[in-house]
Amino acid sequence: MSSTTLSMTPDHATHDHASHDASSTTKLGFWVYVMSDCLIFAVLFATFGVLAGNTANGPAGHDIFSLPYVATETMLLLLSSFTFGAGMLSARSGRRAPVLGWLIVTLLLGATFVGMEIHEFAALIHDGTGPDVSAFLSAYFTLVGTHGLHVSLGILWLGVMLHQIYHYGLDEVVMRRLSCLSLFWHFLDLVWICVFTFVYLREFV
């Protein structure tokens, strides 16, 4: 019995070590991706800061933005960050049903946010204030649109994770992917707070 146990121990240790290495590599790789995204948004924020005053005698931000509307978008995204956090707490407790419930709510909140952003863009273009009107609007549509695209990809990722959690449970691989998605989602919330402050709020203070 003891010899069998001893013969199995190296294989088990090797498996655990390989699993730990895979997890560490995945997390490191994803942090590198997040840092590269930080650079992209930093460039977009800097570009907007330079071009914000170049309205080409067209409308400025305070002429076309609705602060209550954007504040509602902001509250939806911040609430989605809370629901995702609640889902992660349930995941660490191994409770699959609450995880699915919280992530579905997160997906719906994110989808509503994107829907409101698309509606805002469509209304601006319909009113003749599209990205071709001025450098300010080009920078605005690029910055906010890039963030919206990231949220849309996050929603797609959420859908994939819901499928995996439902079919495979909360195993080590699913938890690792869910942790990466959690980091991505909270990062987008942080970027949006910067967008709300730097793009919208500054126009009304």
Distance CA 124, CA 9 (A): 65
Residue 29: the pLDDT is 86
Residue 21: the pLDDT is 56
Residue 116: the pLDDT is 98
Domains and CATH numbers, the chain: 22-203 (1.20.120.80)
Residue-wise pLDDT for 151-174, tens only, equals 999 999 999 999 999 999 999 999
Residue-wise pLDDT for 105-151, tens only, equals 999 999 999 999 999 999 999 999 999 999 999 999 999 999 999 99
Sign of CA dihedral 121, 56, 133, 192: negative
The reported pTM is 0.87
3-state secondary structure of 105: helix
CB proximity list for 166: less than 8 A, separation 6 or greater: 96, 100
Choose among 198, 73, 49, 65: nearest CA to 127. 65
Token representation of residue 18? 């390989």
**Residue 60 carries which DSSP code?**
-
pLDDT, mean of residues 4-19 = 44
Distance CA 195, CA 144 (A): 7
